Chains A and B, each alone.
Chain A
Amino acid sequence: MTAVGPMPVRRVAGGIPLRLRAVAVGAGCLLLALVFGVLAVGGGDYPMSPSDVVRTLLGGGSPAEDFVVHELRLPRVVTALLVGAALALAGAVFQSLVRNPLGSPDLLGFTQGSAAGALLVVVTGGSSAALAGGAVLGGVVAGLVVYVLAWRGGLHGHRLVLVGIGATAILTGVNGYLLTRGRLMEAARAMLWLTGSLDGRGWEDVLPLLAAMAVLAPVVLIGCARPLAITEMGDDLARGLGVRVQGLRLTLVAAAVLLTSLAAAAAGPVSFVALTAPHLARRMTAAPGPNLLAATCTGAALLTGADLAAQRLFAGHQLPVGVVTGVLGGGYLVWLLAAQRKAGRI
C-alpha cells in the first residue's frame, strides 16, 4: 500500500461529508442574482436608486414608481431569474443523466425543437402567444422523439447523446429552411427570438414558466437529487442500492424538457446557460454529484447578470441577452478546454 498523505480537511469533518459549501454557493448566487435584479430594475429612461427600487418593491413607492417597477421592469427581471434557473437546472440534470459535461439540452436537440416550433408559428404569421406555445410544443415533441429513438430496453446516456446530436443537425436544417420561407419582417423577428431576448417581457410571458418551476423545481431538487447522484455511479450499482433507475430517468427527462422548452418560450433559446452554469457551480462547490441547487442559483445569477450587461454595456443600445451569454459562455468553454489541456486531461 502506498503511503497516506496528509488528509485534506475540506468538506470533511470527522470523516463525514459536509454540504455547507454547496448551500453557501447557492445562497451567494441567489443574493447576487437579486442584486443584479435590483440594479436592472433601477436602470432605464426613468432611473431609480437601488434603495428606491427596494422601497417600491416593498410597497412604499409613488404611483409612477409602482408602475415603472411592477409593470415595466420587474417582469423582465423575473423572467431572467426564472429562465436562468430553469435552463441551468435542466442542464445540470442532463449533464448528470448522460454522464457527460457536454450533455446540455442545446446539444441534445430539444432547444432546436423549440426553435422549429416557434419558427413554424412565425412563418405562418402567428401571434406572440402562439409563438411561445409553438416553442413549448416543438421542444416537447423533439424531446419525445429523441427519447423514443434512444430507448432500447432502457435509456442509455451515450445513445441519448448520439440521437440528440442527429436530431440537432436535422432540426438546424429545418430551421434554416423555415427562416428562408418567412417574409423579411417575420424573419427579422424570428432571428431576434432565436438569439434569445428578454426585451419587453410582461407578466403573461412569465406565468407559465413560474408555474412550471413552482411544481418541477421541488420535484427535481428535493425528490430526485439524491437518487440522481447515486445513478452517476452506474446503473447496476444504483439499482443495487434501491434506485428505480428507469423511472427516475423518465421523470427527470420529462421535467428537464419541459423546463427547457418553457424557458425557450419565455426568452428564446438563450445559449450556453444550460452548459456553463452547472460547470461553474461544480467548480465553486467543489462537491461531487449533480449539484442541482447550486447550479440552479448560478444560472439565475448568470442570466440576470448577462441581461444587466446587455442593457448597460453600450449606452443607448441594448443587446439581446443571448449575445452576451453566447460570448461569455463560449469564452468560458474555450478557457475551460485550454485549462484542461494544460492540465493534461484532454
Chain B
Amino acid sequence: MTGTIADRNAMAGTHDDGPRLRGSALTLAYDKRVVAEGLDVVVPDRSFTVIIGPNACGKSTLLRALARTLRPAAGTVLLDGRDISALPARKVARTLGLLPQTSVAPDGITVAELVGRGRYPHQRLLRQWSSEDERVVRASMKATGVADLAGRLVDELSGGQRQRVWIAMALAQETPLLLLDEPTTYLDIAHQIEVLDLCARLHEERGRTLVAVLHDLNHAARYATHLIAMRDGRVVAAGAPGEVMTADLVEEVFRLPCRVIDDPETGTPLVVPAARRRTEPATR
C-alpha cells in the first residue's frame, strides 16, 4: 500500500499547479444522506481518468458533483481554478460535457437531430443554427461512426448504436473535458469494447480530458491513464493503473481476494478473482 500513500501525497502536491478540474473538501449528500465527506479529487489534464469502486461507494455521485449537476453540501468543485457553481451555466457547458447514465431520447427524434442538441450551449436566441454547428455535428457523427444513421430514428437503433449516438451528442458539445457515467452499462462485451476504443481514440487524438465511471476493473486498467479507486465515499488510491491496481488494493476496495497478472494483450494489470471464495468472504 506504500504506492497508494505516495500517490495521495503526489495528489496533494498538484493542488497549486491548477489542473483544470478538481474537487476540494467535498461533502456530497442526497437530502440528508451523506455519501462522501471531505473528498479531495484531482483530474489530471489530458488524462483518461477512470473512477472505480463497489456499488454505492459514491463514484457516480462524485461524477455528478464534478459536472455540477449535484451541488456539494460543502466544499467546492474548481474548474480552471474557479468555483464551478459560480460560473455561468452556458460557459461551463462549453468547457465540460456530461453523458449521464440514463438519458431519454425524445419520441420520434432522428440521430442528426439528437446530436444537434449537443450544440445548445453554443447557440443563441437569434443565431440558432450555423454552418459551424452543421460542420461539428457531421464531424461528431463521423467520429463515432454513426454518420450513416443520420436520418434514422433513435428509437430504432440497437443499444450499442444508441450509446454511440449519445457520445456523438456529447462530442458535438465540443468541450475539452468530457465526463461519462458508466458508458458501457447494458452493452454486450463487443459493444463495450467498441465504446471504450472510441473513448480512447477521442482522448488520444484530440487531447481531451475524459473522466468515466466504469464497473469492469480490467477495462478500467486497460483504458485509463489515471485511476481513482473509491470506497465508502473516500478515495482509497489514485494514480497510474500499473501502480494502483494491485491485489491488495482490489481486496481493500472490493473485499475480493484476487491475483493481478499482466494482460497478455496490453501488459496492463488484469484482475483474476480467486478461484473460490473463503468461508468468511467479506467480513474483514
Contacts and interface: CB of A to CB of B under 8 A. Distances in A.
Interface of A: 1-2, 4-5, 7-9, 11-12, 15-17, 99, 152-153, 222-223, 226-227, 229-230, 232-237, 239-244, 286-289
A288 B94 CA distance: 25
Nearest to B123: A226
Contacts of A240: 67, 69, 93, 96-100, 173, 179
B109 A237 contact: no
Given A16-B116, A222-B125, A235 B107 contact: no
A235 B102 CA distance: 10
A230 B98 contact: no
A236 B64 contact: yes
B31 A153 contact: yes
A229 B69 CA distance: 18
B108 A1 contact: no
A8 B155 CA distance: 14
12 contacts: A12-B151, A15-B137, A16-B116, A17-B113, A230-B117, A232-B106, A233-B104, A236-B98, A239-B69, A239-B89, A240-B93, A286-B108
Nearest to B94: A242
Contacts of B106: 229, 232-233, 288-289
A243 B117 contact: no
B112 A12 contact: yes
Given A15-B112, A239-B68, A242-B89, 5 more contacts: A5-B152, A15-B134, A17-B112, A226-B120, A241-B173
A17 B92 CA distance: 26
B112 A234 contact: no
Given A15-B137, A241-B173, A288-B109, A233 B117 contact: yes
Contacts of A152: 31
A67 B200 CA distance: 75
Contacts of B31: 152-153
B43 to A, nearest CB: 16
A2 B104 CA distance: 22
B112 A241 contact: no
Contacts of A289: 106, 109
Given A233-B106, A237-B100, A242 B134 contact: no
Contacts of B98: 236-237, 239-240
Range for the number of chain B residues in contact with chain A: 35 or more
A244 B108 contact: no
Nearest to B115: A15
Given A17-B113, A230-B117, A4 B108 contact: no
B141 interface: yes
A261 B176 CA distance: 46
B283 interface: no
Interface string B70-105: 000000000000000000011111101111101111
B138 interface: yes
B120 A230 contact: yes
A275 to B, nearest CB: 17
Among the interface residues A9, A11, A226, A237, which one has the most CB atoms of the partner chain B within 10 A? A237
Contacts of B107: 288
B161 interface: yes
Nearest to B64: A236
Given A12-B151, A240-B67, A241-B173, A1 B160 contact: yes
Contacts of B113: 11-12, 17, 288
Interface in B18-65: 31, 64
Contacts of A230: 117, 120
A287 B110 CA distance: 9
Given A15-B112, A237-B100, A7 B121 contact: no
A233 B151 contact: no
Given A5-B152, A240-B67, A244-B89, A12 B110 contact: yes
B148 interface: yes
B236 interface: no
B266 interface: no
A234 B118 contact: no
B121 to A, nearest CB: 4
B121 A241 contact: yes
Contacts of B151: 7-9, 12, 15
A80 B127 CA distance: 35
Contacts of B94: 242
B256 interface: no
Nearest to A227: B120
Contacts of A229: 106, 117
B226 to A, nearest CB: 22
B177 to A, nearest CB: 11
